Structure formats: C-alpha cells, structure tokens
Amino acid sequence: MADKHTAPEGAKKPNILVRILALLVTAALVLGALVLVVYRDRFNLDALKRYLAYRTMETTETGQAVPFNHAGGNKMSISHLGGGILTASATGARYYALDGTLYAEEVLPLDNPVLCASSSTGVVYNAGGQSLFVFQNGQEVSDLSLEEGINLLSVRPNDSGWLAVTAQQSGYKGAVTVYDSHHQPVIGISLSSTFVVDAAVSPDCKTVAVVTMDQRGGSFYSRLLFYPVDQSEPSAQAELGNIVCLDLDYESGRVWVLGEDALLIADDKGEAVQTYSFSRSYLKGCDLQGDNFALLLTGPYRAGSATQALILDREGQVVQTLDLSGQVLDYSAAGNYFALLTGSALTIYTSTGQEPYALLSDPQGARHVDLSHDGSALMADAQQAWLYLPN
C-alpha cells in the first residue's frame, strides 16, 4: 500500500478565495487585451495620458472645458504649452493656466509678434527687434536682450529647451547663437560671405543646422550647413538649390526646409535631400511639428483657400490626401495627430488614418487651434480660450 503524504505541520491549504481572485484577474487581463484589439483604432496610450492629465477638469458631453478669458490683441497666435496656453499678440506675451490663472506676462508693443514653441519651451519675440522672452513650466524663465545693432530674424527652441537664435548683425551677413537649457551661449556663428536666414538645434543638442542664402546666376541659392556645437566649422552641408526658406524643423536625423514651391528633407550627414514639389499647386499653409510627418495645405490658385491637405512622411512621400470643402481657419500638427479647424467643425486625424480620430461639430466660434502631443486641442477666439479633449 502506498504511503499517504500529509502536509507539514503549520502549512496552510490553498485559500479558495485566492484562487477565485487569481481567476478573475486573469479573465480581466484577457478581456482587456480583447478590447484593445477590437478598439485599437479608438483607444490608445494617448487617451490614457489625457485621462490622467485632465481627470479633474470638468468638460461637457462634447469634451470641451469651460472657457476662460485672455487678453487677446491683434496678430494673436497661441501655443498649448506645459498644461497651459501661451499667447503672443501686438500687446505682448501672456502665459495662462487652463483655468485662466495668469502665470506670467510681458506687456509691451510688438509690431511683428512671433511665437515659436517646442513641446517644453515657448518663445515670444518681435521680428526685427532685440528682445525675446522664454516660457516653461508655468513661468517666464528668461528675458534675453541682444545688443544694439543686432536684429532678430528667427528663434527656435528644441524639446530640451535649447535655442537657436538667428539675427542680423552689423559687419556680417548673418549670425546664429546657440543657447543651452539654462540660456547661456554655447556657440556663436557669424558669416560675412553669405546670408544666414534660419537655424535649428538638433534634438540631442549636439548640432545646429544653419540655412544660408546667396545669389547664383541671378537667382537665390540656398545651402544647409551643419555645425557641431563645439566646433567653429561645419561638419557637413546639403545643397538646397533655388529655394527661399519659409520654415524649418530638425528632428530624428532629418531637417525639414519649407520653400514657396517645395518641401525639402535633408539628412544631417548632408548625403541625401528628398524634394516634394508643389507642382501646379500653391502653398496655403504648413505645420512641421508632427512626429516624422509634415502637414501641407495647398490650392490650385494663388488667390483663394486651400482645397487639399497633404501628409508627407520623412521620405517626402505623400501618405494621405484630404479634399477640403470648407475654408480652413487654422490648423495644427503635433505628435501623431493633425487638426483642421473650419467655421463649422474641428476635425482631428492621425497621420496614418484616413478616418477622423475625433470630430467636434460645434467649435463655438474658435479661430485658433493648437494640438498637444497627446491629441488634446487648445482652442481660442478673440476673447476666450478652452481645451477640447477627444472622447
């Protein structure tokens, strides 16, 4: 007869409640995985990020928060920055919390106000002036004033808070100064043989891309120079041809250069340049802030509204085309999303999907929109601003 085994003294038998709980947890995980598969186009990590970031914010059934008043002003632009809103207008710069609390402000006349922002840093300056104001994390962190005789052309922050400041400087055709995240100068580049029109710092803060322009054969000719921030000579260059730089972005080993007739994408080794020509279409708008894609608005006539929205990938290939039936009042791209605002709707898309990610059929008279990387949208009119959270 086989020996009977008995449990050692003091050992406990498995608790039936523990087994049931383990079974329920396993079933919930399996069910959750099935839900993610079935609803993968509607539910993503960004939806969870929005919930965690704005779970205490009250919104209507449409996902819109309570509006708050802002100072407004002519030539106004907005940016969704660090859980708040940064505005620039002819009356200065203002940084608000989403409940309308004023974080910081610079009240002064700006003839040509410019707002440029990355995911972490917003900069407001007067094009042609000497002062620029830097905002981060609910406060103004720097007020940089250039010397007399130096006039600002462009200021571009990267996601680490570094700045590329392009300016006209007496005795030179152009100059670029790179500032670190503490807004201390790291490198200064002054050129006397060619004009400097724009610059941007790489995401890893090791390189600054500088766009220069001169004349060749009676036409403008542009070149892209790459300077390591610890060297005084460029390590690489790319020929851009007959293009006048209208906008610039540096991300993931690529520099995007927007011209009036084409969008160029150059690798930062200077070895390849991809060109997308607008052909017979005219440029109506562009946003380069999406992750590895560009949003272009084009139309068939020099006058008139945009009739198409195009999404270009990092190889310069069109991956999405949308026909536009209404006038686009504003547009924005960030993360994996882009948004088109008309008088009757705000529509948010992903860069890889043809169907709308979210549709707000009553934008309440909004004239401005700016997306966050999580897909939330900041909206504003001349007097109020509010947040929209896609359901």
**44-73+289-391 shares its CATH topology with 161-277:** yes
pLDDT score for 40: 47
pLDDT score for 327: 96
For residue 33, pLDDT over 70 is answered with no
Reported confidence tier of residue 283, pLDDT bands at 50, 70, 90: very high
User: By the 8 A CB rule, do 205 and 183 touch?
Assistant: no
pLDDT score for 39: 47
Q: Are strands 358-360 and 113-117 parallel, antiparallel or unpaired?
A: unpaired
Rounded-to-integer distance, Cα 92 and Cα 74, Å: 10
pLDDT (tens digit, 9 = 90+) per residue, 165-224? 999 998 999 999 999 999 999 999 999 999 999 999 999 999 999 999 998 888 889 999
Q: Where are the beta strands (DSSP E) in 62-136?
A: 68-69, 77-81, 84-89, 92-97, 102-107, 113-117, 122-126, 131-136
pLDDT score for 21: 76
pLDDT (tens digit, 9 = 90+) per residue, 301-319? 999 999 999 999 999 999 9
pLDDT (tens digit, 9 = 90+) per residue, 319-371? 999 999 899 999 999 999 999 999 999 999 999 888 999 999 999 999 999 99
Domain boundaries, the chain: 44-73+289-391, 85-145, 161-277
pLDDT (tens digit, 9 = 90+) per residue, 108-167? 999 999 999 999 999 999 999 999 999 999 999 999 998 888 999 999 999 999 999 999
- Go through the chain and tell me how many residues it has: 391
pLDDT score for 14: 55
Q: What is the mean pLDDT of residues 286-294?
A: 97
User: By the 8 A CB rule, do 202 and 163 touch?
Assistant: no
Joined tokens for residue 308:
């198409």
Fold observed for domain 44-73+289-391:
Methylamine Dehydrogenase; Chain H (2.130.10)
Rounded-to-integer distance, Cα 63 and Cα 356, Å: 16
Q: Is 72 left (phi over 0), alpha (psi -120 to 50) or beta?
A: left
SS3 category, 312: strand
Q: What is the mean pLDDT of residues 284-296?
A: 97
Joined tokens for residue 95:
């940084």
Q: What is the mean pLDDT of residues 224-248?
A: 96
Global pTM reads 0.87
What is the chain's mean pLDDT, rounded?
91
Homologous superfamily (CATH) of 161-277 is YVTN repeat-like/Quinoprotein amine dehydrogenase (2.130.10.10)
Rounded-to-integer distance, Cα 197 and Cα 215, Å: 13
pLDDT score for 44: 73
Reported confidence tier of residue 34, pLDDT bands at 50, 70, 90: low
